[in-house]
Structure formats: C-alpha cells, structure tokens
Amino acid sequence: MSPYKMLFSVTILLSMVYKCSGIYCFYCNSANNSACLDPMQFDDETRALIIPVIDCDIAVPRVENIDFFCRKIVQTIFHPHRDSELRVTRGCGWIRDPNNRPCYRADNRDHLETVCQCFTNHCNSADGLNTTTALFLVLAVCLYLYR
C-alpha cells in the first residue's frame, strides 16, 4: 500500500472521530422566526446570526442523567376561523420514540404533527445525508482507490 493511500485512509478515519460533550442543536420556532422554516437556505455566516444553536446539556435543566438529542417538529395547525398554519420547531429532545423511529406522526383533531429525532450536532436543520449514507460513500471511495 502506498504511503499516500495509507495517509488518506487514516485521515478519513480520524475525521469520523470527534470529542463528545453535549449535543448542539438548532433552537427556533417559525412562529417568531421565519428562518426556522428552512435554515439551510442561508449560508453558514447568515444562519449563525439568525438561528441560535444551543448545547442541550447546558440549556436544558437536568433532573437525572439524560441523553439529549436534536428534534424537529413540523406542525400543520388548524385554526377554527382562519387558514391553517405551518409551524416548524427545532430544539433539544430527551424522551425518545419508544419504537426507535427517526420520525413519527402525532396527529389530533386540531393539528397534524411530524416529529423527527436525530443524534448528531446540528442534525435538526433539514433533510440531508444521514450517517449511514455518508459512511457508505466514504467506504465506496476507499474501495475504489484500493482496487
């Protein structure tokens, strides 16, 4: 194996390791921050100015040892005397879906709700590559280089 391939492999592996402390999540509600509807429409610098990011371990009071995660809730709220409203809420979660689904529905007569939970920093931003897909792509590149 050439030294360049070895260096590339080690770099890829080390890039997947990071220090674990708290999980950092976007924290907003589209009812008072319209940017919360789609944070990925902004460049990194603008997004950092208009959408707060919080460390769940610091921001949420703990009663017991809880593993926090990021959560995104998309609601269609039905108002009795006006048009329905789409609302997106992003923040920290601490009670996981008992069926371990990444997303689930929680509808009732006055709103439709989809709740998604994820477990990496800033993952409650929008749809994107999940960890499995990203790992598969990295492995595919490594296999291609070593053929």
Give the pLDDT score at 120. Answer: 92
CA distance 81 to 117: 32
User: What is the pTM for the complete model shown?
Assistant: 0.67
Give the pLDDT score at 80. Answer: 87
Give the pLDDT score at 146. Answer: 53
Give the pLDDT score at 61. Answer: 76
Count other Cβ atoms within 10 Å, centred on residue 57.
15
CA distance 116 to 113: 10
Sheet strands (E) in 1-140: 24-26, 28-29, 53-55, 69-77, 85-93, 103-105, 111-118
Per-residue exposure over 13-32, b if at least 16 CB sit within 10 Å of its own CB, e if not: eeeeeeeeeebbbbbbebee
Q: Residue 33 has what DSSP assignment? A: -
Give the pLDDT score at 45. Answer: 94
Give the pLDDT score at 127. Answer: 52
Give the pLDDT score at 140. Answer: 41
Q: Residue 78 has what DSSP assignment? A: P
Averages of pLDDT over each 10 residues, the chain, 147 residues: 52 46 90 94 94 90 80 93 93 91 90 94 68 40 44
Architecture of the domain spanning 21-145: Ribbon (2.10)
